Amino acid sequence: MKTKLLTVISVSLLFFFNGCDASMKDPRDGKTYKTVKIGEQVWMAENLNYETENSYCYNDSIENCKKYGRLYEWDAALNACPSGWHLPTSEEFRTLRSNVGGEETAGKMLKSTTGWEDYDGESGNGVDAFGFNVLPAGARGKLLGNFYGAGDYAYFWSATETHEYYTYNLTLRYDREFADLSFIKNVAY
C-alpha cells in the first residue's frame, strides 16, 4: 500500500500520501510542493507553508517562511495537512529511515547539500541522495515563543502521541549523520 506523508515544522511538516506524482498542489492556497517517492512511500520534499493558527515564520520573517516553510505547534500540524495527506506516524518514519540506509546514515542521506552549519571543521550538509532536501529550519519554543536552531536542526512532527505531553518527532542535526526519533510536544517545528 502506498501512502502520502507530510513533514511538519514547528516542527516542520512532512506529509505522507498515497500516490506518486512528482509534485502536489495544495487546493487551499494554490501552492505547489515537490514530492518524492522513497520505497513505497511518497513524501512532500518541501516543508508546508500553509498559514494556520499556531503556525509561525522563523523569527517572524516572511522570507524565512519562503525558505523553510512554516513552523507548527503539534495540534496545528495535525490539522494543517492538505486533503489526502497526513502527518507520518513513528512507524512511517522508521520505514523511511530504513529505506534510506538505516538510522545511522539517514540524516546524511536526507539533508540538503547546503545550508547546514559546519561542526569541528566538517560540513554539516548532507548528500540529499533521494531528493528529500531537508533544510535546517530550526524550531520555536511554545512556552517562551523563542526561535532557535535555524542552520543547525530540522525537526518533523509525527502523528504518534506517546502521552498528553509527548509526541514522536524525527530530528536531524548539523553535527550528526543519523536521524533520531525522539519525543516532545512543547515546541513548534
Q: What is the tens place of the pLDDT at every residue in 105-134?
A: 999 999 999 999 999 989 999 999 999 999
DSSP assigned state of 10: T
pLDDT band of 17, cuts 50, 70, 90: low
* pTM greater than 0.75 (yes/no): yes
Segment 124-152 shows an average pLDDT of 95
From 48, 29, 45, select the one nearest 37 (Cα to Cα).
Answer: 45
Give the per-residue pLDDT at 164. Answer: 81
Inform me whether the pLDDT recorded for 11 exceeds 50. no
Inform me whether the pLDDT recorded for 43 exceeds 70. yes
AA letter at 94 = R
Segment 26-33 shows an average pLDDT of 96
The three-class DSSP label of residue 144 is: coil
AA letter at 10 = S
Give the per-residue pLDDT at 162. Answer: 87
Give the per-residue pLDDT at 158. Answer: 95
Give the per-residue pLDDT at 15. Answer: 53
Q: Express the helix, strand and coil content of the chain in percent, nearest 5 each.
A: 20, 40, 40
The three-class DSSP label of residue 97 is: helix
Pair 100, 90: CB distance under 8 Å:
no
Inform me whether the pLDDT recorded for 1 exceeds 80. no
Q: Look up residue 139 and give its three cell numbers.
A: 524550531
Pick the residue with more confidence: 127 or 8?
127
Inform me whether the pLDDT recorded for 18 exceeds 70. no
Q: What is the mean pLDDT of the chain?
A: 89
Q: Look up residue 67 and give its three cell numbers.
A: 525558505
Segment 148-165 shows an average pLDDT of 93
Q: What is the distance between the alpha carbons of residues 186 and 145, in angstroms, rounded to a whole number?
A: 10
Pairing of the two strands 12-17 and 85-86: antiparallel
Q: What is the distance between the alpha carbons of residues 7 and 157, in angstroms, rounded to a whole number?
A: 7
